[in-house]
Amino acid sequence: MRKILFICSLLILWGFPASAEWLSDGTPGGYRLWLVRTCGSAVALSGGGYTLQDMKGQGYAGDKMAGGLYVLGPGGIWVLTGATPEGGVTTADTGRIRNTTIVRADTDGDGTVDDVQITWAFDDRGSCHVDIWRCDDNYSTNPAPGVDWKFITVIPSGDPRIYNHTNSLRDGKNYFYRVVPSPLLFGTTLLDDTNNSRTVAKIDVWVGPGWNMIACPLEQNSYALADTIGDQLTPRVEPGDELYNPQMLKASYSSSIWANPSGINLALGEGYYVYMWTGRTERYISFAGVMPKVVRTLTINPGYNLIGNSSIIDKSLDTSLPPGTGTANAFQGSVSSGPDEIYKNDYPTQGQLKMTCSPMPTGWVGPSRFDFIKGEGFWYFRRTEPGIYNWQLDPNP
Ligand SMILES: [Ca+2]
Ligand SMILES: [Ca+2]
């Protein structure tokens, strides 16, 4: 209770132009705090041992906070103290749109989960017309209408808050969607934070018979295998296609059911092996979720780390890792122990491509250069000296 009052008092003391809304998260004794703002691109509240950060309309925060407050990706800030909220706080947001979500679904009734469904909510001012915009293939930061972002449809005020994109799964393409108030808030573009929209997306990751290394490129409502990958590996077969997590624990999609004795869930920043048996059909796994925007820390421990690029963009290893010199270089290793190494699955040979890190400005080198590709997994080999390396990966284009 004290914690909740503390947060509320922060909001009041700072004259914060918006407010907080308590939502039951379905966990007994646990409640979720959404911060919804009227202006600005980001906010940080700190003090009393807490630092809360979120992005407009996203109910999102940093990876972890002290004092019993934790964050679950797009699920908001969870208060794990067992405290109960005292009444509610009136919200008066002006971004109009809240909490856009996307799920894989069967919306055309053909019995196949091959569609996506996008839903959203409104602020306290209630329903308004919304426009649906879509960008295909690669995410574009150019907000000029009709260039990279295409207008799809308007959904009149009061209609069900649903937009279905049928037959969009596993087509090998990427789709990014924005749900924005129509008309846009004065002086804003469709990509402005101020409209409270957050970008949701569908991204396809290819897998074929043999070994594949993948990562989850989008924030998920649920990271359970049944929800993230679901029924997208080979159906109705035994033995099932397999998935291995960074600890090399195994789950398998056997006879169209996930056998997951270790309780593996996907996590952003982790890499995974997917093994498909010989003779099975190559395919795409479609991920549906929210575009990550918060800088993520990949903790690289000495030894081999199975990591993944959980973002919507490919990153050059040279530019996604910080530059440095000599042994102060966080990723170079040391002169005595040798350089860090990174490996990527070479699907045609079922082997590994390797790059090593040379002193800057040379950076990562190897006979086959590769980038840190979205939706892919990698092995990062870290030397004992200099030890743990916290790789700050910015997912923003
Ligand atoms: Ca369908
Ligand atoms: Ca269909």
Final residue belonging to a domain, choices 266, 288, 310:
288
3-state secondary structure of 17: coil
Q: What is the whole-number distance in angstroms between the Cα of residue 33 and the centre of ligand 2?
A: 37
169 and 209 inside one domain: no
- Considering 297-301, 362-366, 373-377, the range whose residues carry the highest mean pLDDT is 373-377
Q: What is the whole-number distance in angstroms between the Cα of residue 167 and the centre of ligand 1?
A: 6
State the CB neighbour count (10 A cutoff) for residue 222: 14
Q: What is the pLDDT of residue 334?
A: 53
Considering every ligand atom shown, identify the ligand nearest to the alpha carbon of residue 105 and give its number.
Answer: 1
- Considering 26-40, 87-101, 180-194, 315-329, the range whose residues carry the highest mean pLDDT is 180-194
3-state secondary structure of 11: helix
Q: What is the whole-number distance in angstroms between the Cα of residue 178 and the centre of ligand 1?
A: 22
Q: What is the whole-number distance in angstroms between the Cα of residue 356 and the centre of ligand 1?
A: 45
Final residue belonging to a domain, choices 267, 288, 309:
288
Considering every ligand atom shown, identify the ligand nearest to the alpha carbon of residue 107 and give its number.
Answer: 1
State the CB neighbour count (10 A cutoff) for residue 33: 24
Final residue belonging to a domain, choices 235, 257, 288:
288
Q: What is the pLDDT of residue 361?
A: 66
Q: Which residue has the higher pLDDT, 196 or 396?
A: 396
Q: What is the whole-number distance in angstroms between the Cα of residue 108 and the centre of ligand 2?
A: 6
Considering every ligand atom shown, identify the ligand nearest to the alpha carbon of residue 116 and give its number.
Answer: 1
**What pLDDT, in 10s, does the model give residues 177-225?**
999 999 888 888 999 877 777 899 999 999 999 999 999 999 999 999 9
Q: What is the pLDDT of residue 71?
A: 34
Q: What is the pLDDT of residue 24?
A: 33
Q: Which domain holds residue 235?
A: 205-288
| Position 32 in a domain | yes
DSSP codes, 345-368: EETTTTEEEEEEEETTTTEEE-SS
Confidence of residue 49 (pLDDT cuts 50, 70, 90): very low
Confidence of residue 386 (pLDDT cuts 50, 70, 90): confident
Q: What is the whole-number distance in angstroms between the Cα of residue 116 and the centre of ligand 1?
A: 9
166 and 230 inside one domain: no
Q: What is the whole-number distance in angstroms between the Cα of residue 229 and the centre of ligand 2?
A: 18
Q: Which amino acid is at 226?
A: A
Considering every ligand atom shown, identify the ligand nearest to the alpha carbon of residue 108 and give its number.
Answer: 1
Q: What is the whole-number distance in angstroms between the Cα of residue 169 and the centre of ligand 1?
A: 9
Across 140-155, average pLDDT:
97
- The total of structural domains in the chain comes to 4
Q: What is the pLDDT of residue 320?
A: 67
Q: What is the whole-number distance in angstroms between the Cα of residue 258 and the centre of ligand 2?
A: 23
Strand partners, 101: 119
| Position 370 in a domain | yes
Spatial distance between the Cα atoms of 184 and 14, rounded to a whole number of angstroms:
28
107 and 175 inside one domain: yes
Q: What is the whole-number distance in angstroms between the Cα of residue 170 and the centre of ligand 1?
A: 12
CATH number at residue 128: 2.60.40.10
Residue 243 reports pLDDT greater than 80: yes
| Position 84 in a domain | no
| Position 313 in a domain | yes
Residue 82 reports pLDDT greater than 90: no
Instruction: Judge contact between 214 and 376, C-beta under 8 A.
Output: yes
Considering every ligand atom shown, identify the ligand nearest to the alpha carbon of residue 109 and give its number.
Answer: 1
Q: Which amino acid is at 219?
A: E
Q: Which residues, at least 6 apart from 326, have a Cβ–Cβ distance to it below 8 Å?
A: 332, 359
Q: What is the whole-number distance in angstroms between the Cα of residue 173 and the centre of ligand 1?
A: 17
Least confident stretch, 88-97, 252-261, 358-367, 375-384: 88-97
Q: What is the whole-number distance in angstroms between the Cα of residue 282 and the centre of ligand 1?
A: 20
103 and 157 inside one domain: yes
Q: What is the whole-number distance in angstroms between the Cα of residue 207 and the centre of ligand 2?
A: 21
> Counting every residue, how long is the chain?
397
105 and 194 inside one domain: yes
| Position 85 in a domain | no
Q: What is the whole-number distance in angstroms between the Cα of residue 120 and the centre of ligand 1?
A: 21
190 and 102 inside one domain: yes
Q: What is the whole-number distance in angstroms between the Cα of residue 335 and the centre of ligand 1?
A: 56
257 and 193 inside one domain: no
Report in angstroms the alpha-carbon separations of 300 from 3, 66, 142, 215: 33, 22, 34, 16
Spatial distance between the Cα atoms of 315 and 109, rounded to a whole number of angstroms:
39
| Position 60 in a domain | yes
Place of tokens 């972890």: 64
146 and 233 inside one domain: no
pTM here is 0.77
Q: E-strand spans in 123-161?
A: 130-136, 149-155
| Position 90 in a domain | no
Q: What is the pLDDT of residue 389?
A: 83
| Position 193 in a domain | yes
35 and 107 inside one domain: no
DSSP letter at 240 equals P
Q: What is the whole-number distance in angstroms between the Cα of residue 134 and the centre of ligand 2?
A: 19
325 and 374 inside one domain: yes
DSSP codes, 182-208: SSPPTT--TT-GGG----EEEEEEEE-
Spatial distance between the Cα atoms of 373 and 314, rounded to a whole number of angstroms:
4
Spatial distance between the Cα atoms of 57 and 247, rounded to a whole number of angstroms:
35
Q: What is the whole-number distance in angstroms between the Cα of residue 132 and the centre of ligand 2?
A: 21
Considering every ligand atom shown, identify the ligand nearest to the alpha carbon of residue 115 and give its number.
Answer: 1
Q: What is the whole-number distance in angstroms between the Cα of residue 125 and the centre of ligand 2?
A: 36
Instruction: Judge contact between 355 and 342, C-beta under 8 A.
Output: yes
272 and 248 inside one domain: yes
Least confident stretch, 45-54, 89-98, 218-227: 45-54
340 and 267 inside one domain: no
Q: What is the whole-number distance in angstroms between the Cα of residue 106 and the centre of ligand 2?
A: 7
Across 89-116, average pLDDT:
82
Q: What is the pLDDT of residue 321?
A: 64
